[in-house]
Amino acid sequence: MKFRTDTRIAAALLIASVPAVLPAADETAPAKPAAAEVAPEEDPMLKAPEDVAAPPADAAKTDSGLASKVIKEGSGEAKPGPTDTVSVHYSGWTTDGELFDSSVKRGQPTSFPLNGVIKGWTEGLQLMVEGEKRRFWIPAELAYGENPGGGRPGGMLVFDVELLEIKQAPKPPEDTEKTAGGVAYKLVKKGEGEGHPAEGQLVSFHFTGTTMEGQPLQDTRAQGEPMTVPLQNPGLPPAMVELLGAMVPGEQRQAWLPESRIPGGFIVADIELVSFKDAPAPPQAPEDVAAPPADAEKTDSGLVSRVLEKGDGGDKPTGNSVVKVHYTGWKTDGEMFDSSVVRGQPASFPLTNVIKGWTEGLQLMEVGEKRRFWIPADLAYGENPGGGRPGGMLVFDVELLEIVR
């Protein structure tokens, strides 16, 4: 479940929440290399264009609202893809003509994967060929928004960009099989079990994932135990559902899972199905799920809780402890969004690595204790967090099984 980084929300930790190897696209300016010698001020790419305030009538415009105009034709023929890496020179201005960033001024080109920058760059660079210079008028919604803060420029931005080189992202090998959904894979080891997991069942599997360049993303074998999740859990990507649903216990496959947010656009996954079984019935939503009762305890932070079963009177975890728990989480309308109980597998995590309400709340508990928490939005994910995370106040039933260390 993803609390602050992750305990794990089903298998969202697998793909949807792979560790960020690049800054978020909606938070990223073109990468800034180390400063080099300053280019001459007379370089035309350092002067604000005459049409910086608004695109001219002859500028090309895409459906997204991105406007551009070719300044110099290129010599190449190929255009970059959305996961390719490009090398460019560029300068960027706000619409009042203020220069806010320039690789030309630094005297050094910059390189970046197209899926690691603002949307206007991801889309715009795919229109270009090597050697081409193009001016872009990027609306706020394709850049950083109107008032982004953090020193980033807001509103429409104007860039002059020269595409110097395209480095194509690695592609899956050609000698692969394809699932019905188009996922490329190779059979590594045949399974010895029988039957295939189906909707409503729990699947236990090992997963090792890397980028196309071999950078590690996740390895359940290093964690010491397979991952267990419902096959149809919302956090499990369709490609994984399809692959696991076609496997038998003991089978191992290497697969190339499409994931536009990482370099190369694919996760290279080693997947081994360990077992599958029927899932237990989900816990019922508490009667007091909508709001805490009058006799619940409340801390200064606003965290509310009530002891359901007393513990053994032993130690309590600290803020740096690693704990093992069973838990179920609901929204205040009674909708369950995550449960280790349904997965049939306790969750272990460091208290430094979860939402604030969990970091504070678990330190109130003794081993063996069961407690219900009402966690306000500011100690959870906020009111409207997006990304599939639940917003508003959240309610958790938690059983502290063990202080691992």
Q: Considering 271, 396, 397, 403, which one is annotated as catalytic?
A: 396
Share in percent of the chain as helix, strand, coil (round to 5): 15, 30, 55
Distance in angstroms (rounded) separating the CA atoms of residues 364 and 327: 15
Catalytic annotation, pick one of 118, 355, 375, 403? 355
Q: Which residues contact 340 (CB under 8 A, 6 or more apart)?
A: 325, 326, 327, 328, 346, 347
The one catalytic residue in 159, 338, 397, 403 is: 338
- The Cα 334–Cα 330 span in angstroms is 6
Query: Cα separations (Å) of 40 from 44, 104, 293, 334, 375?
Result: 10, 9, 70, 64, 57
Longest CA–CA separation in the chain, Å: 76
d(CA 235, CA 200): 14
Distance (Å, rounded) from C-alpha 299 to C-alpha 401?
Answer: 23
Q: Catalytic residue among 327, 349, 375, 403, which? A: 327
Q: Known catalytic residue: 185?
A: no
Known active-site residue 118: no
276: helix, strand or coil: strand
Q: Tell me whether residue 276 is one of the annotated catalytic residues.
A: no
User: In the annotation, is 396 catalytic?
Assistant: yes
Q: Which of 266, 276, 373, 381 is catalytic?
A: 381
How far apart are alpha carbons 369 and 347 in whole angstroms? 16
Known catalytic residues are: 327, 337-338, 355, 381, 396
